[in-house]
Amino acid sequence: MAGREGDGVRQTGVRDADASVWAEELLDHLRPTGQDIPRVIAWLADAVQGTASLQDDTGTLLGGTRPALDEHLVAAVTAGRIASAAWEGQGRYLRLVRVAYPNRSSAGVLAVAREAPFDRRTSDIVTHTVQVIEVLLKASEMTAAGRRLERATSDLRLAILQLLMVEDTVSARRVAAGLWPGLLDTDTACVHVVEGTAEDRDRLAGECIEATGERALVVLCPAVEEHVIVVTPGEAEAQELRSLIGPRPRTFLGGSARQSLARTATAYGQAVSALAVAHFRPDKSAVYAERTHPERLTDPAALRGWTARLLHPLDTLPHHTRAELLATTRLGLEFTAVNAAKVLGVSRNTVRARMERVEALLRTDFADLTARAVVHLALNSQVSLADAPADTGSCEVAHASLPDLLSGPAMRTWARELLARLEQDTRDLRRTLRTWIAEGGNAERAAQSLGVHAQTVREHVRSAEPVLERQLLAGGSDLYEVVLAHLAVGDLDQPALHGLKPGLLDSPVHR
């Protein structure tokens, strides 16, 4: 008797020790680094010395090797008519167990087969494995729900930015009020663009949100996968962003001048321009420099009158349509149609169609770089003069023409000094650049006109960039300023606008 009791104690201890081992191994699959259902299924097959598989309610295999199963029996388990089933035959013992899915009425099926009968140990392993799988499925569903919520929130932030881009501030505030009360309770704001790596952008955006305490609108840029766009209502948020990028390698920050919310598109362009400068700054950040721009070198009253006349064909449109066309044209002139479309949340064809409509209303051709530059000047002037007090001046000033604006002393002095920088190069960069602009920025056509190779044209234009301190091949504001300088000194012909030849629309340029 004593011997048998000792054996019983020893056998119980072995079973308890064995249970402790497999239970610990099973619980290890709940650790953050081990949450993998196929690994759990593989472990289960090894633990029972058989085979195991898990399929969902649609029959999709989630782990293991699919065995031959009775479809009616499987259907009864997934539908919940029975919780489990056992079958034996042909030297095989099979268990089917229902695996509940979170937020679903149907369920999956765990199938376990072995050549020996299921004893208490193997039955316990199967039962507890089902519980672990259900926990993992619930955790996976919660993670997926969290990701869906993050995506929805990110999409909502982007939608708010896109509304601001087309000057629909009322709708933007209405959308933001539900989740971020007070976010857009401001008349003015700055736009910042933070650049990091594409792989690290989500984390960077999260840190921007945390740093600004959700007092700023943080958006994953839809056009450039390395960029995060941040609309900051106050200087405190901007300072937080600057402190954020300091210790981070390969991270840069460009900021705009303060603009009204309706000028978010303009502020975005300024931030991108400043970002290019930030790459050469020790602190990796830059704010848009209010350098001497052409619109600041003309009489405000004359510029206001000319801008109003140039854009007058758009005044007949409904306010929303007009704002949409102007915002799209501003971005379309600064960036490619593809990138402008991504920022606005529309197709590239929509961007092209809107710009073609503006072309038709102004009766001009945006393939002509001089036309693009002149319209860009009008759009910039409209923004810069929006908050300035109206001063109509004399009748003559109010009806000033484009040549009148470009022939003013300040404008011509600025243009001559800017282009004179090119004359220090013996390759005649000025001639190449003038021809390249006249040919719409097409290196091949410019090369034919000059009798050189297209690559030579590109190298000359690229060489002119550091001399002029402006990006030319990328297009946008820098290029248009150089085009206006050529127009001011008479090196290029005036563009046709409103369908009229320059001589019929404006007085000749003073040379």
- The Cα 399–Cα 394 span in angstroms is 9
* Mean pLDDT of all residues in 328-341: 90
pLDDT score of 394 = 53
* Band of residue 504 on the pLDDT scale cut at 50, 70, 90: very low
- The Cα 347–Cα 1 span in angstroms is 87
Strand partners, 255: 192, 287
Mean pLDDT lowest among 104-113, 199-208, 391-400: 391-400
Task: Render pLDDT for 231-253 as a digit per residue (tens, 0 to 9).
Answer: 998 888 888 998 888 888 889 99
Of 208, 195, 203, 158, nearest to 342 (Cα)?
158
Place of tokens 């839809």: 222
Percent share of the chain, pLDDT over 90: 41
* Mean pLDDT of all residues in 49-56: 90
Q: What angle do CA 474, 324, 387 make, to 5 degrees?
A: 85
* Mean pLDDT of all residues in 8-17: 45
Q: Is 134 exposed, middle or buried (0-12, 13-18, 19+ CB in 10 A)?
A: middle
For the whole prediction, is pTM greater than 0.85?
Answer: no
Q: Which residues contact 302 (CB under 8 A, 6 or more apart)?
A: 393, 397, 398, 400, 404, 405
pLDDT score of 13 = 44
- The Cα 392–Cα 37 span in angstroms is 74
Task: Render pLDDT for 60-84 as a digit per residue (tens, 0 to 9).
Answer: 888 888 778 878 888 888 888 888 8
User: Is the per-residue pLDDT at 499 higher than 60?
Assistant: no
Backbone angles phi, psi at 54, to 5 degrees: -135, 130
Task: Render pLDDT for 160-176 as a digit per residue (tens, 0 to 9).
Answer: 999 999 888 999 999 88
pLDDT score of 298 = 86
Mean pLDDT lowest among 6-10, 53-57, 299-303: 6-10
Name the residue with higher pLDDT: 509 or 258: 258
pLDDT score of 503 = 41
* Band of residue 218 on the pLDDT scale cut at 50, 70, 90: very high
User: Is the per-residue pLDDT at 507 higher than 50?
Assistant: no
pLDDT score of 505 = 42
- DSSP character for 385? T
pLDDT score of 56 = 84
- The Cα 88–Cα 184 span in angstroms is 68
pLDDT score of 358 = 95
Q: Which amino acid is at 418?
A: L
Task: Render pLDDT for 477-497 as a digit per residue (tens, 0 to 9).
Answer: 889 999 999 999 999 999 988
pLDDT score of 196 = 93
Mean pLDDT lowest among 222-231, 317-326, 380-389, 464-473: 380-389
* Band of residue 108 on the pLDDT scale cut at 50, 70, 90: confident
pLDDT score of 6 = 40
Q: Are 117 and 88 in contact (CB under 8 A)?
A: yes
Strand partners, 453: none
pLDDT score of 10 = 39
- DSSP character for 33? G
* 116 alpha carbon, distance to own chain's centre: 58
* Mean pLDDT of all residues in 420-436: 93
pLDDT score of 333 = 92
Q: Tokens standing for 491? A: 């090196």
